[in-house]
Structure 1
């Protein structure tokens, strides 16, 4: 990282050409999702840097933080306090390292904490995870933003599109070189209900 769409942010990531399922991966240990910058997170980070008023002076939680990319972008955009949340302790360690590398301060947690804004990049990748994430987004913050490259489980009717980016991606992780990735804001419950099933 540090070039392309996010020249403002430097991340310590897996080397180009590194497959996701490599190294010390075992069936009882999740693969190192945190070692890659995923398109939903890249788009969301770009959006926050371009629209700092969304987070400036507010508390922010980066749900499923991975490398800490979106948390770092929120901190650089002027958030009052940023917490990177992830269930993988290795991801939280990576987020802390990357925040230090970028000269910003973030907190880390394994569970959701209250915030004014919750952000989540590339989290709608399975039906089960999507249902859990949607529930957390509805209860955790007054503003919820997600970055999604069309993984298939984002209930679009519950969101409004804010921006779209053509995000360069790694061929070893995706099916092409670029993914059209959108940034969405969760609609208020009443607006989502009126949008239908």
Structure 2
């Protein structure tokens, strides 16, 4: 059991979510919330009393679900390799990578509550994940053979930092896969589509029940 499982942050995660199967990846169970706004307010009120990042960790986002489904359906891409999951959120993609046979999996987040949620979700699925807290976007995923990123192109500022990170990883030979449901700042010109999925999503977040979501590969030559 991860030490964070006994922390106050973990108690908060468990109190405001329920353990449920990810809609498109039902073999993985996550601590998920139903109401994003209510949870965001609770996060600010109960934990620090200051502005907090949105609780991305409490939802199964379309890009992450599609990417998790893809690697579980194509374990040959992952098996025996070192994996880095960027902006891991709930840890869904990282958990799928372990299930697909990765040698090691590192999940990165800048939100301490997300790191707590990743630990809780790893524990719930009986998998081992190394959760790393901090901004790593000046690097290249520290030699990981596979770099995964679900739903990371939701703002221009994020894209401007994430794309160079992913390009550096691809340039040194990493397999870079991205899941994205057509967010506004998706850099399509740098990506190659490898699969398309119809992913069930939270209507309160996406204003729809299903999002057409693409798994993309970032070639080393671009």
Q: State the TM-score, normalizing by the size of structure 1.
A: 0.90
The farther-off stretch of 73-82 and 107-116 is 107-116
Q: For the residues of structure 1 that align with 2:56 and 2:23, how far apart are their CA atoms? A: 21
Query: Which residue of the other structure, out of 33, 50, 67, is the alignment partner of 2:90?
Result: 67
**Residue 24, structure 1, aligned to residue 52, structure 2:** no
Offset at 1:18? Answer: 4.5
Runs of 4+ with deviation above 2 angstroms: 16-22, 24-28, 110-114
**What root-mean-square deviation, in Å, do the aligned CA atoms of Structure 1 and Structure 2 show?**
1.6
Q: For the residues of structure 1 that align with 2:76 and 2:184, how far apart are their CA atoms? A: 29
Listed as ranges, the matches of 1:109-188 within 5 Å are: 109-110=132-133, 111=136, 112-141=141-170, 142-188=174-220
Q: Counterpart of 2:149 in 1: which secondary structure?
A: strand
Gapped regions of structure 1 (runs ≥ 5) = 193-197
Match of 2:112 in 1: 89
Q: Counterpart of 2:64 in 1: which secondary structure?
A: helix
**Alpha-carbon contact 2:66-2:197 (below 8 Å) kept:** yes
Query: Which residue of the other structure, out of 65, 71, 88, is the alignment partner of 1:48?
Result: 71
Q: State the TM-score, normalizing by the size of structure 2.
A: 0.80
Higher helix fraction (1 or 2): 2
Offset at 1:27? Answer: 6.2
Q: For the residues of structure 2 that align with 1:17 and 1:24, how far apart are their CA atoms? A: 12
C-alpha distance after superposition, 1:44-66 (max 9, x if no partner): 00001000011110000000001
C-alpha distance after superposition, 1:121-145 (max 9, x if no partner): 0000011101211111112351110
Match of 2:27 in 1: 8
Offset at 1:164? Answer: 0.6
How many residues get paired?
189
Match of 2:130 in 1: 107
